[in-house]
């Protein structure tokens, strides 16, 4: 089976449990485990470790379809699958322990280098002493392993990494070594992601149980020539697209059944509504078509040259940001077209409205990305990793 076919067996249950997920502010553990056992959290894990190692387009489509069923589950799956990408860079022994020995493990993490890691010996063994508290720990309650971004220090100073910038590492911890601050995720949208703060304090980490961000992956195949942050951005945007697709589906159903106050015909008979539905469909399809084009271009370059140049990386980021903001525009227009019906908590349109506007706040698809991409297109130094 392929990931999309595998997902099909869960979509009805995900939709049915959507209210439960929203109210609990977290993904149910049983649902997460069932999905993990089928490999859905291992879309980007190498085949040599038992993962799918799937094409980025399949990764994108699977996340979008999951988010259409429930945005929070789509988001948790996105965090789990993009964290799984690190398995291609971990030293073989740790990759085997975390990903191969327990194939239904779920790994999640926060990329922001808020933590602090310093080399330390413990009983003669090399490792790092790590402390940090990270917000936005999505899916931490369903995870077996959790990683946090850290700046690496040596002799009290940040260690110099690639291009002279401070070295950043993503450090893995068993879930039982991480404190989850369960009172911190009370938000307008994506409430079911359980994105509470996570924390470790003076935790010793054995040698190699980390990945240096920006380093060359250990596994050399086409997928792992894509930038980690570029795939993360595509994943975030896939969730936004899925939310917008759900909003369009919900609005279409509403428009056929709702007769506005003072009107004699259904909402669907209004020319302005007909125009909005057509424009929304065009926005979503054109955004996804651009994404397919840029992913295909990047895949071909990665296969033929063994790497991705800055212009291609920039186009991937452009596609992701374009997806997120077009998705938000679609949801906004449909929410307003629905009238008062959309303001009630029982309306899926109001949840789509809240959720998509949390997705657009992710730094990987933020408005400043347009400026970075524009600099690349104008032949200027972007000064930011793509």
Report pLDDT digits (tens) over 278-311. Answer: 999 999 999 999 999 999 999 999 999 999 999 9
Asked whether the domain spanning 226-377 has the same topology as the one spanning 3-88, the reply is no
Pairing of strands 196-206, 210-212: unpaired
* Fold type of domain 106-212: Butyryl-CoA Dehydrogenase, subunit A; domain 2 (2.40.110)
Q: What is the reported pLDDT for 171? A: 98
Return the structure tokens found at 328: 């938000």
**Which among 215, 199, 207, 194 is positioned nearest to 86, based on CA atoms?**
215
Partnered with residue 109 across adjacent β-strands are 147
Three-point CA angle 14, 17, 20, nearest 5°? 140
The domain defined by 226-377 carries CATH number 1.20.140.10 = yes
Residue 260 pLDDT > 80, yes or no?
Answer: no
Report pLDDT digits (tens) over 27-85. Answer: 999 999 999 999 999 999 999 999 999 999 999 999 999 999 999 999 999 999 999 99
Rounded to two decimals, the pTM is 0.96
Q: What is the reported pLDDT for 215? A: 87
Instruction: Identify the H or E element spanning 324.
Output: helix 310-337
Average pLDDT, the chain: 95
Determine the average pLDDT of the residues in 358-370. Answer: 96
Residue 259 pLDDT > 80, yes or no?
Answer: no
Least confident of 108-122, 149-163, 291-305, 320-334: 149-163
Residue 3 pLDDT > 80, yes or no?
Answer: yes
Residue 133 pLDDT > 90, yes or no?
Answer: yes
Report pLDDT digits (tens) over 181-199. Answer: 998 999 999 999 999 999 9
Q: Phi, psi at residue 33, to the nearest 5°?
A: -65, -40
Residue 204 pLDDT > 80, yes or no?
Answer: yes
Gyration radius of the chain's alpha carbons: 21
Determine the average pLDDT of the residues in 223-249. Answer: 97
8 Å CB contact between 66 and 54: no
Q: What is the reported pLDDT for 262? A: 63
Q: What is the reported pLDDT for 129? A: 97
The gap from C-alpha 333 to its chain's centroid, in whole angstroms, comes to 24
Interhelix angle 310-337/348-359, rounded to 10 degrees, is 150
In eight-state DSSP terms, residue 97 is I
What CATH class does 3-88 carry? mainly alpha
Domain ranges of the chain: 3-88, 106-212, 226-377
Residue 364 pLDDT > 90, yes or no?
Answer: yes
**Tokens 């980690």, residue?**
228
Determine the average pLDDT of the residues in 167-188. Answer: 96
Q: Phi, psi at residue 242, to the nearest 5°?
A: -60, -40
């Amino acid at each position: 089976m392929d990931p999309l076919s595998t997902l099909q067996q869960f979509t009805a249950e995900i939709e049915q449990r959507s209210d439960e997920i929203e109210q609990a502010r977290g993904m149910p553990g049983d649902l997460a485990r069932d999905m993990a056992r089928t490999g859905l959290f291992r879309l980007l894990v190498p085949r040599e470790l038992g993962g799918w190692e799937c094409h980025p387009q399949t990764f994108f489509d699977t996340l979008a379809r999951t988010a259409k069923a429930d945005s929070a589950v789509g988001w948790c799956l996105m965090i789990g699958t993009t964290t799984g990408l690190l398995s291609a860079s971990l030293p073989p022994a740790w990759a085997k322990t975390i990903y191969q020995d327990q194939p239904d493990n779920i790994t999640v993490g926060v990329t922001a280098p808020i933590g602090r890691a310093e080399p330390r010996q413990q009983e003669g063994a090399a490792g790092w002493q790590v402390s940090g508290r990270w917000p936005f720990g999505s899916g931490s309650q369903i995870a077996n392993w959790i990683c946090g971004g850290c700046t690496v220090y040596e002799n009290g100073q940040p260690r110099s990494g690639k291009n002279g910038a401070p070295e950043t590492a993503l450090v893995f911890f068993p879930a039982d070594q991480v404190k989850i601050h369960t009172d911190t995720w009370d938000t307008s949208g994506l409430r079911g992601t359980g994105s509470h703060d996570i924390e470790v304090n003076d935790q010793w980490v054995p040698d190699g149980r980390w990945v240096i961000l920006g380093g060359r992956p250990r596994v050399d195949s086409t997928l792992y020539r894509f930038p980690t942050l570029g795939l993360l951005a595509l994943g975030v945007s896939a969730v936004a697209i899925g939310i917008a697709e759900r909003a369009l589906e919900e609005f279409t159903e509403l428009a056929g059944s709702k007769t506005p106050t003072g009107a004699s015909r259904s909402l669907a008979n209004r020319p302005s509504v007909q125009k909005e539905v057509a424009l929304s469909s065009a926005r979503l399809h054109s955004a996804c078509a651009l994404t397919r084009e840029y992913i295909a271009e990047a895949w071909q370059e990665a296969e033929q040259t063994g790497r991705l140049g800055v212009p291609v990386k920039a186009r991937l980021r452009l596609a992701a940001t374009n997806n997120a903001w077009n998705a938000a525009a679609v949801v906004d227009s449909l929410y307003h077209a629905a009238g008062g019906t959309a303001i009630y908590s029982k309306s899926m349109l109001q949840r789509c409205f809240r959720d998509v506007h949390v997705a657009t706040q992710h730094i990987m698809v933020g408005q400043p990305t347009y400026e970075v991409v524009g600099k690349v297109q104008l032949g200027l130094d972007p000064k930011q990793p793509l």
